[in-house]
Amino acid sequence: MKKFLLFAMMLFAFQLSSAQTFTKGDTFIEGTVNFVSSDDVKTFNFNPSVGYFLTNKFAAGVTVNTQSTKTADVKTSDSFGVGVFGRYYFLNIGERFTTFSQLAITSDSDKTADTKTLNANIGLGANYFITKNLSLTLSVADLVLYASIKAGTALAVNTTTVGFSGVINPFTAPTFGLNYRF
């Protein structure tokens, strides 16, 4: 057991030996892909984004959101959206792990469900660098969420949520993705 602990500590120290932080002028692409299937419901999401570092700690970027849902083999949702985000990196833990907060505003349109949605959210996230340029991303996007949903010609429904309200399993709220910086 002592050898294992010594090996684990040496591996951890080696992982921390080279700095992997972002710098002003870096550009990154990031994305997540989700496929969820349960009983009769199948949902597919693809969400790429591109960001640019304006300073060593602040990045701004654009994102695209797509989602398709089928219930009992009938398409019930087919949405597409675009958005902007600002991301502030506030804590480096070691030299491979960085954390950030993010403010994002997105607009989605779902032709199948005839809805239009405007979202503004605040979230937290982290990057863990595997190599100098490639990192794994963890993001919890809706810690604070404002949503305005307009269905057809009906008036908009506005909702605000804070924290994990409405989330039955908080481990399903985060998204995981890849981030590549140039």
Distance CA 172, CA 110 (A): 23
What mean pLDDT comes out for the span 22-40?
88
pLDDT tens digits for range 57-95: 999 999 999 988 888 888 888 899 999 999 999 999 888
Per residue, what are the HEC states of the chain?
CHHHHHHHHHHHHHHCCCCCCCCCCCEEEEEEEEEEEECCEEEEEEEEEEEEECCCCEEEEEEEEEEEEEECCEEEEEEEEEEEEEEEEEEEECCCEEEEEEEEEEEEEECCCCEEEEEEEEEEEEEEECCCCEEEEEEEEEEEEEEEEEECCCCCEEEEEECCCCCCCHHHCCEEEEEEEC
Is the model more confident about 51 or about 8? 51
Distance CA 80, CA 70 (A): 15
pLDDT of amino acid 57:
94
pLDDT tens digits for range 159-172: 887 876 555 455 55
Confidence of residue 5 (pLDDT cuts 50, 70, 90): very low
Distance CA 64, CA 114 (A): 19
By mean pLDDT, which of 25-29, 167-171, 172-176 is the weakest?
A: 167-171
pLDDT of amino acid 173:
64
pLDDT tens digits for range 96-107: 999 999 999 999
Interior/surface letters 150-161, b for 16+ CB within 10 angstroms, e for the rest: beeeeeeeeeee
What is the value of pTM for the model shown? 0.79
Distance CA 61, CA 58 (A): 10
Tell me which architecture the domain covering 2-181 has in CATH: Beta Barrel (2.40)
In the chain, where are the structural domains located? 2-181
Is the model more confident about 19 or about 145? 145
Distance CA 102, CA 177 (A): 15
